[in-house]
Structure 1
Amino acid sequence: MASFVFKVIRNAFGIAEHVAPGLCGRAAFELFCRTPNPRSLTAGEQRAVDQAARFMAEARRHCLTTRKGRITVFDFKPQGGTRPLGTILVLHGWRSRTEYMKSVIEGFRDAGYRVVSLDLPGHGQSSGRRLNMALAVDAVRVAGEWFGPFAAVAGHSFGGAVAVNAAVGAVAGIPPLATARLVLISAPSSMPAIFEDFGRFLNLGPRSQLAVAAEVERVTGRRLEDFVGSVQLATVPIPALVIHAPDDREVSADDAKAFARAGDHVRLFWARGLGHRRILFDPEVVSEAVGFVTARPRLARVN
């Protein structure tokens, strides 16, 4: 049944290319922004949330207002009650939430940092059922106003792309986020490439794809082609650590290589054999991230 519905949707978008490409592009963009119901968890997702319950209870919870809704931010003190070395902002990826970033958060807490982690719009305990780069960067803006400046922003997958765009001020009307460093775990570099793949998935034609790009510009105030992380980092030399698995099937290792070519301020660590999600729970990955922020990196450069 699902396969049949998918074929119908693809056929509808293919026909709309010739009849109403503008409407088709707007509909495709809205579909792209639609987030899964955060209350409808798979058995594995529910298990991860349940296992992190005690950990989450250690955080102070804040409900903050953005331009379009409400976000929930979790504030973790350093382990041992010591005076924090600084504050780290942690950002999860698409169809994720703070609970899944537990190992990363614990690593920075153990090193003496205060950690602030937010559930992005449409995820976890934040409101809404939509997420795009403008909504995400605005959420980060609010977190920065309350808890910044940050010693580093650590983001996984889409959260890594958000970290870059927030740090460089990519969304019109939102100033750059104050952060000393970036840690990008399994992060995509090119938003145009993501939308191109999404367009192929939906069977969008060229005029509909242009309409999608117009929606991105309407929402963000920037052209779609401006959202290329490797180019953004090349123009704003914030020290960045890129951590990626060569076997990542969701975000190509080519994205990590592109980031690494942005300049000498970007370093690359290959987390071999860890895929897209297991990478978050690997002790060596956490150690590399913490070591980079505390200026004790042990890094493998791209050849």
Structure 2
Amino acid sequence: MATSLLRLLRPIVHVSGIVAPGLTGRIAFKAFCTPPRRKQGTNRTPAVKPAASRLDAAMHISVPYPCGSVAAHLFEPATEGQAEPAPSVILLHGWTGEAAFMSAFVTPLLRAGFRVVAFDLPAHGQSTGAELNLPIGVASLAAVARAFAPVHAIVSHSFGGSIALAALAGTIPAQPRVMAERLAMISPPASMAEVTRWFGTAIGLGRTGQRALEARIHSVAGVPVTAFEGADQLARFGKPTLLLHCRDDREVPFAHAEELAGAGPFVRLEALQGLGHRRILQSRHVAAAVADFVAGRADRRSGQTQPISSRLTTASIVSMPSGEAFRQGR
């Protein structure tokens, strides 16, 4: 939502939050869950086209879930004589993103012997729907995980990390817990309560309206927004986790990564510099490091491996699609 429009709406939202908090909370929740969406058929920007072209070699599959269907892109590794499918790695993009934004991770993971599944979250890319929230996101991830089992790892970016954590921790009572052995999170927010508070402040909800918004979240999710604290959920997951986050990230501050890293000794945090919130997805070194972690190679040679931050160069970055900022929601 444009800043100028927010300024105009703030006084109206503030007053309605006092006069009709329940209605305001429902309207605010809908706005909170509705991403801006490019119309189908609209030409992609020059920055997005190279990333999207990496999906051309995939098998394109529509995966149904209770609220509609999501567009999945399946890549199979080059294996011969293998009766069972290779373990899957699911790539999970962030708010206002799409599967193409995660495509730089495909080749390194295929070379490591994994089948790779990138999919458009609901209300994004070619998937159905107009809204995305944590219950919807977890439901779609659970459906993809069932369709391409067994799942070895999830690689997520930004709000996709919040969905992955809720799914792996079994936070939402009505949704099945997703099982995976490893988790790599890139630039994730640590607290959905903080994101919700930011959104409420941005639209001028006030205390009464904010309480109504959080009550609506509780009603839809079946748990309060405080149940989605990242470090608590990550501790419940408890399996090897890699966090990659730039100190110069202006959309999700680096402090979020530090908070998540406190979940336990199974979490490894790599602090990067110079890649921001979006370009980090197009770093060849980051993609290689994620593949090493997913395959367990980083564990075996951790004593000799340089930190990712010391191996990054400007030349390692390929063209990156732009996206909405954390200040637009998450």
Same fold (TM over 0.5): yes
Shift of residue 114 of structure 1? Answer: 0.6
Shift of residue 299 of structure 1? Answer: 7.2
- Kept in 2, the 8 Å contact 1:268–1:300? The answer is no
- Aligned 1:30-69 pairs, distance under 5 A: 30-39=30-39, 46-69=45-68
Q: Distance in 2 between matches of 1:60 and 1:216?
A: 36
- Kept in 2, the 8 Å contact 1:86–1:114? The answer is yes
Q: Report the residue type matching 1:67 in the other structure.
A: P
Q: Distance in 1 between matches of 2:213 and 2:262?
A: 29
Q: Report the residue type matching 2:170 in the other structure.
A: G
Identical counterparts, % of pairs? 35
- Number of equivalent positions: 298
Larger RCO (CA under 8 A, 6+ residues apart): 2
1:64-123: CA deviations, max 9, x gaps?
221111111111112x45556521011000111111111112221222211011100000
Alignment of 1:211 with 2:208, yes or no, is: no
Alignment of 1:190 with 2:191, yes or no, is: yes
Shift of residue 41 of structure 1? Answer: 9.5
- Aligned 1:1-303 pairs, distance under 5 A: 4-39=4-39, 46-78=45-77, 80-81=78-79, 85-297=86-298, 298=305
Q: Distance in 2 between matches of 1:81 and 1:46?
A: 35
Shift of residue 149 of structure 1? Answer: 2.4
- Kept in 1, the 8 Å contact 2:17–2:208? The answer is yes
| SS of the residue 1:151 aligns to | strand
- Structure 2: runs of 5 or more not aligned: 299-304, 309-330
The change in CA–CA distance for 1:177 and 1:109 in structure 2 (over 3 A counts) is same
| SS of the residue 1:116 aligns to | strand
- Kept in 1, the 8 Å contact 2:187–2:277? The answer is yes
The change in CA–CA distance for 1:299 and 1:252 in structure 2 (over 3 A counts) is farther
- Structure 1: runs of 5 or more not aligned: none
Q: Distance in 2 between matches of 1:102 and 1:208?
A: 40
Q: Distance in 2 between matches of 1:277 and 1:242?
A: 15
Name the TM-score, length of structure 1 as normaliser.
Answer: 0.92
Q: Report the residue type matching 1:256 in the other structure.
A: A
1:181-217: CA deviations, max 9, x gaps?
1000011110000000001100111111111111111
The change in CA–CA distance for 1:112 and 1:3 in structure 2 (over 3 A counts) is closer
Name the TM-score, length of structure 2 as normaliser.
Answer: 0.85
- Kept in 2, the 8 Å contact 1:260–1:267? The answer is yes
Q: CA RMSD for the aligned pairs?
A: 2.0
Q: Distance in 1 between matches of 2:148 and 2:47?
A: 27
Q: Distance in 2 between matches of 1:140 and 1:3?
A: 32
Q: Distance in 1 between matches of 2:161 and 2:128?
A: 21
1:216-253: CA deviations, max 9, x gaps?
11111111111011111123312111110011011110
Q: Distance in 2 between matches of 1:15 and 1:177?
A: 42
Range moving further from structure 2, 132-141 or 96-105: 96-105
Q: Distance in 2 between matches of 1:51 and 1:267?
A: 31
Q: Distance in 2 between matches of 1:192 and 1:166?
A: 17
Q: Report the residue type matching 1:64 in the other structure.
A: V
